[in-house]
Amino acid sequence: MNDEAPRPGPELCSEAEVEQLVRRFYARMRADALLGPIFESHVHDWEPHITQLVDFWSAMLRGTRRFAGAPMPKHLALPGLEWPLFERWLGLFTQTTAELGNPAMQQLADASAQRVATAIWGRYSNQRFPLFG
Ligand code: HEM
């Protein structure tokens, strides 16, 4: 039995599993009444966006180094984000990871998503309601 938290690496999951996660998650998000319109108004060319997200999740889960984006400034520039939207995002994400049949991947993906969501929201809310300066 292995009680240790899963670590990123090529044995955790395949590229095909990463792509399946991203495509299923985005299908859910685009159909969501609150999140869908945010993506539709900012993402005009879907395939490059999906590729960017596959590269991001491949880095998080498999430790690859293709991702060269800048998620923090892109999210800081989005108007009207609130924590409940992040909770909704996380709800759709964890529903998707639960369906993939790879519990170690699920555990690392869910923990990483939670950590990044908290980090983005921390910066976002501080930008709007600065605690310092
Ligand atoms: C309320 C929650 C969120 C909303 C509404 C949201 C929305 C968006 C939108 C509209 C973009 C495209 C921005 C652009 O290309 O200008 C984007 C990009 C991205 N998002 Fe999110 N996001 C959310 C949470 C998250 C979380 C929690 C993560 C990671 C765990 C994440 C990862 C990314 C990544 C990697 C990109 C691509 C960044 C790049 O192109 O450099 N997002 N998001």
Number of the ligand 1 atom closest to the C-alpha atom of 85? 1
**Ligand 1 pocket check for 42: Cβ under 6 Å:** yes
7-12: which pairs have CB atoms within 8 A and are 24 or more residues apart?
7/108, 8/59, 8/60, 8/61, 8/62, 8/63, 8/108, 9/62, 9/63, 10/62, 10/63, 12/61, 12/62, 12/102, 12/104, 12/105, 12/108
Q: 56, 74, 85: which to mutate for ligand 1, most atoms within 8 A of CB?
A: 74
Distance (angstroms) between ligand 1 centre and the Cα of 1 equals: 36
Reply yes or no on whether the pLDDT at 133 is more than 60.
no
pLDDT at 2: 54
pLDDT band, residue 130 (cuts 50/70/90): confident
